[in-house]
């Protein structure tokens, strides 16, 4: 990500706002599609939850990805951005009737079904509408991932998915329901995963389940392995584009596919994480008894990840690039929200900073703007794109 335009361009723009480097997004999409295409039958659905900004969605759609949606609103956003319905998968443990109907009306590719109860409701609604719903079952593979406990999903204690022991019985039920077509299996073990061994263990689990099903004459046509590939938050400039080759090669080497089986991926963070930054201004440098607080006009309402997951986003004082500063200082970087968890980072070394300096919180393209809220009656952050500042 480059923020290399003169900061003068920003003088009339209210902060905080999200800035997206479209070159980084395009480069990421290009490498992603190239590496996926190296393997027959691999296709990627972008996880809309990571960033549903309409211009970002359009760019991703133009690159030829499908969409992975978790709500009716996301399905609408994807359709509006031009994603084809037959490339949309719909996941989530609690799909409302109107969301199921919306998906059926638009003939989406597939529902990722998370329970027997949900399957029965989809069948009923599809029957009423004279439709057939294609379904994959989301299986809880009981594979833990090396990531934050709030973003692991594939363990027995998580609310997600159907237990492996119930797999055959739900497939048999699906085969009996008149308005359901069972087409495959779906998995997702968590997010921000950097150890390929976690994905390997998922592959071995899938292989085992496939053997078990095959012994009963069941060969699903589609295997959806979810998303989860992480990005480098510590040194984003060194790893602008994630290692898609290593990621897809891991699946290609470890999954034992049956003839004609298609593999689907649902990547979110790896697609958009590094192209976005939250840009904010320093309001005050408050000198406390023991600490020096750098108070930004951006807070947890704009970027929730640090407060919710203790995530660390790299920070850069952009103004210090244009004006010399005498040295570095240690700051606790905080927002203006009336919550003590509204802290971006403690004890960060930054160039000596002043009121009105512009601070960039990097690697904020995924789960940044998408998780922003209006708590404290604040305004939602606006978004700008690299081409907005080109001369």
Residues that bind ligand LLP (CB under 6 A): 47, 50, 68, 91, 151, 153, 188, 191-192, 226-229, 266-270, 305, 309, 367
Choice between 75 and 295, CB closer to ligand LLP: 75
Are the C-beta atoms of 228 and 191 separated by less than 8 Å?
A: yes
Give strand pairing partners of 329: 350
Count of beta carbons in the 10 Å neighbourhood of residue 331: 25
Choice between 191 and 319, CB closer to ligand LLP: 191
| Count of H-run helices and E-run strands, the chain | 11, 17
Q: Comparing C-alpha atoms, which of 153, 109, 101 is closest to residue 135? A: 109
**From the CB of 50, what's the least distance to ligand LLP, in Å?**
5
Residue whose pair of structure tokens reads 């099903």 in the numeric block: 213
Alpha carbon distance 357, 353 (integer Å): 7
Structure tokens belonging to residue 323:
């004006």
Alpha carbon distance 1, 241 (integer Å): 10
HSE (side-chain half, CA atoms, 13 Å) at 54: 8
367-388 b/e (C-beta count within 10 Å ≥ 16 → b): bbbbbbeeeeebeebebebbee
Structure tokens belonging to residue 181:
């077509």
Choice between 267 and 358, CB closer to ligand LLP: 267
Alpha carbon distance 246, 184 (integer Å): 25
SS3 310: coil
**From the CB of 311, what's the least distance to ligand LLP, in Å?**
6
Q: Comparing C-alpha atoms, which of 53, 91, 136 is closest to residue 227? A: 91
**From the CB of 238, what's the least distance to ligand LLP, in Å?**
20
**From the CB of 272, what's the least distance to ligand LLP, in Å?**
9
Q: Comparing C-alpha atoms, which of 162, 103, 166 is closest to residue 133? A: 103
Alpha carbon distance 255, 222 (integer Å): 13
Count of beta carbons in the 10 Å neighbourhood of residue 319: 18
**From the CB of 21, what's the least distance to ligand LLP, in Å?**
19
Choice between 69 and 295, CB closer to ligand LLP: 69
Choice between 7 and 308, CB closer to ligand LLP: 308
**From the CB of 93, what's the least distance to ligand LLP, in Å?**
10
Choice between 112 and 317, CB closer to ligand LLP: 112
Are the C-beta atoms of 59 and 23 separated by less than 8 Å?
A: no
Choice between 81 and 282, CB closer to ligand LLP: 81
Choice between 153 and 386, CB closer to ligand LLP: 153
Choice between 269 and 378, CB closer to ligand LLP: 269
Burial of 366 from C-beta contacts in 10 A (0-12 / 13-18 / 19+): buried
Choice between 104 and 372, CB closer to ligand LLP: 372
**From the CB of 47, what's the least distance to ligand LLP, in Å?**
4
**From the CB of 215, what's the least distance to ligand LLP, in Å?**
28
**From the CB of 42, what's the least distance to ligand LLP, in Å?**
15
Output the CA–CA distances (angstroms, integers) from residue 348 to 288, 298, 316, 331, 355, in the order listed.
Answer: 15, 17, 11, 5, 17
**From the CB of 28, what's the least distance to ligand LLP, in Å?**
13
């Amino acid at each position: 990500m480059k923020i290399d335009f003169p900061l003068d361009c920003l003088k009339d723009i209210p902060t905080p706002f999200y800035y997206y480097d479209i070159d980084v997004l395009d480069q990421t999409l290009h490498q992603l599609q190239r590496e996926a295409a190296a393997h027959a039958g691999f296709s990627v659905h972008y996880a809309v939850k990571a960033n549903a900004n309409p211009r970002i969605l359009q760019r991703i759609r133009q690159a030829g990805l499908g969409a992975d949606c978790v709500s009716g609103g996301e399905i609408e956003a994807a359709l509006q951005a031009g994603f084809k319905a037959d490339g949309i998968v719909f996941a989530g443990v609690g799909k409302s009737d109107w969301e199921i109907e919306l998906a059926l009306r638009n003939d989406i590719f597939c529902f990722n079904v998370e329970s027997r109860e949900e399957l029965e409701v989809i069948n009923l609604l599809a029957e009423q509408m004279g439709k057939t719903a294609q379904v994959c079952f989301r299986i809880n593979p009981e594979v833990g991932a090396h990531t934050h406990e709030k973003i692991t999903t594939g363990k027995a204690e998580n609310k997600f998915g159907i237990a492996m022991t119930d797999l055959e019985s739900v497939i048999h039920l699906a085969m009996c329901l008149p308005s359901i077509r069972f087409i495959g299996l779906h998995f997702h073990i968590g997010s921000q995963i950097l150890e390929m061994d976690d994905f390997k263990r998922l592959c071995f689990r899938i292989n085992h389940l496939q053997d078990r099903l095959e012994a009963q004459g069941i060969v699903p046509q589609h295997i959806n392995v979810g998303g989860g590939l992480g990005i480098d938050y510590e040194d984003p400039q060194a790893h602008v584009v994630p290692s898609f080759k290593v990621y897809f090669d891991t699946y290609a080497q470890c999954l034992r596919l049956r003839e004609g089986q298609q593999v689907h991926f649902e990547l979110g963070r790896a697609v958009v994480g590094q192209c976005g930054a939250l840009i904010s201004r320093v309001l005050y440098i408050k000198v406390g008894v023991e600490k020096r607080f750098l108070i930004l006009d951006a807070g947890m309402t704009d970027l929730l990840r640090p407060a919710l997951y203790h995530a660390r986003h790299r920070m850069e004082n952009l103004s210090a690039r244009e004006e010399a500063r005498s040295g570095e200082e240690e700051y606790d970087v905080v927002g203006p929200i009336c919550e003590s968890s509204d802290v971006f980072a403690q004890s960060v070394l930054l160039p000596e900073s002043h009121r009105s300096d512009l601070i960039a919180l990097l690697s904020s393209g995924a789960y940044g703007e998408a998780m922003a809220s209006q708590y404290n009656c604040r305004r939602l952050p606006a978004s700008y794109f690299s081409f907005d500042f080109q001369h």
